[in-house]
Amino acid sequence: MSEVTYPIHGACQCGGVTYTLLAPPAMVVACHCKECQKLSTSAFSITAMVDAKDVVFKGVMADWSRPADSGNISAAKFCPTCGNRIYHFNPEQPDAIKLKPSNLSDTRVIQPTAHAWVSEKQDWFSIPDGVKQFARQP
């Protein structure tokens, strides 16, 4: 398998929001919490931790936020046309972008390096050997 080369482009399902990822994420986390199951319409969501300077967004995004289990605010940006989630962030740490990277053109990037909230994981999903796991938030 060849190396992933940056920059990589991402786009929502309708193409109204696009972005460019300039550097590899610090970490890629699969989250198995119930909120992420709803969000992803799947068994878990995938988040790539990236610095705000390493990602350039284009297009108009809508906002939504909710209180997180940690007491922080979990704010979300999404495409107002197709609803595809683009990224999450804590308004108190706006430089820490929690990118929803499944819409990148090179999806090798989304392979999780850690699994969070395995306490709420679906029983049928087995975490691969050798990948870090956390019962709740890492």
Q: Which of 65, 81, 113, 133 binds Zn ion (CB under 5 A)?
A: 81
Rounded to the nearest whole angstrom, what is the least distance from the CB of residue 83 to Zn ion in the complex?
A: 7
Candidate list 21, 36, 48, 97; residue touching Zn ion; CB under 5 A? 36
The token pair that represents 28 in the structure block = 């890629």
Neighbours of 121 (CB within 10 A): 21
From the list 4-12, 46-54, 61-69, 96-104, the region that binds Zn ion by CB under 5 A is: 4-12
Tell me the window of 35-43, 68-76, 95-103, 106-114 that interacts with Zn ion (CB under 5 A): 35-43
Question: Do the beta carbons of residue 25 and residue 50 sit within 8 Å?
Answer: yes
DSSP secondary structure string, 30-98? Answer: EE-SHHHHHHHTSS-EEEEEEEGGGEEEES--EEEEEE-TTSSEEEEEE-TTT--EEEEEETTEEEEEE
Per CB under 5 A, the list member of 28, 50, 79, 86 interacting with Zn ion is 79
Which residues bind to Zn ion, rule: CB under 5 A? Answer: 12, 14, 16, 31, 33, 36, 79, 81-82
